[in-house]
Amino acid sequence: MSTPAATKTDGYAEGGARPAARARELTKAYGSGETAVIALDAVDVEIERGRFTAVMGPSGSGKSTLMHCLAGLDTVSSGQVWLGDTEITGLDDRRLTQLRRDRIGFMFQSFNLLPTLNAAENITLPMDIAGQKPDPEWLERVIDTLGLRDRLKHRPAQLSGGQQQRVACARALASRPELIFADEPTGNLDSRAGLEVLTFLREAVDELGQTVVMVTHDPSAAAHSDLVLFLDDGRIVDRMEQPTADAVLGRMQIFTRAYTAHEN
CA distance 146 to 167: 8
Minimum distance from residue 24 beta carbon to ligand ATP (Å): 19
Q: Which is nearer to ligand ATP, 234 or 243 (CB)?
A: 234
How many whole angstroms separate alpha carbon 197 and alpha carbon 191?
Answer: 10
The answer to whether residues 105 and 181 touch, using CB atoms and an 8 Å cutoff, is: yes
Contacting range for ligand ATP; rule: CB under 6 A; set: 31-39, 80-88, 90-98, 174-182? 31-39
Under DSSP, is residue 193 helix (H, G, I), strand (E, B) or coil? helix
Q: Tell me which amino acid residue 50 is.
A: G
Residue 30 near ligand ATP by CB under 6 A: yes
Site for ligand ATP in 55-94 (CB under 6 A): 57, 59-65
d(CA 12, CA 22): 9
According to the binding rule CB under 6 A, does residue 37 interact with ligand ATP? yes
Number of residues that bind ligand ATP (CB under 6 A): 12
Phi-psi region of 25 (alpha: psi -120 to 50; beta: other; left: phi over 0): left
Find the shortest distance in angstroms from Cβ 249 to ligand ATP: 16
Q: Is 39 in the site for ligand ATP (CB under 6 A)?
A: yes
Residue 187 interacts with ligand ATP (CB under 6 A)?
no
Nearer CB in complex with ligand ATP: 30/259 = 30
CB of 237 to ligand ATP, least distance (A): 13
Three-state DSSP state, 15: coil
Closest CA to 214 of 189, 179, 249: 179
Give the nearest distance from C-beta 244 to ligand ATP in angstroms: 22
Please identify, among the stretches 5-13, 42-50, 54-62, 151-159, the one whose residues bind ligand ATP according to the rule CB under 6 A: 54-62
Q: Which amino acid is at 164?
A: Q
User: Is residue 32 involved in binding ligand ATP (CB under 6 A)?
Assistant: no
CA angle, 95 then 69 then 199, to 5°: 105
Q: What's the closest the beta carbon of residue 30 comes to ligand ATP, in angstroms?
A: 3
Contact between residue 52 and residue 85 where contact means Cβ atoms under 8 Å apart? no
- Summarize as ranges the residues that interact with ligand ATP (CB under 6 A): 30-31, 37, 39, 57, 59-65
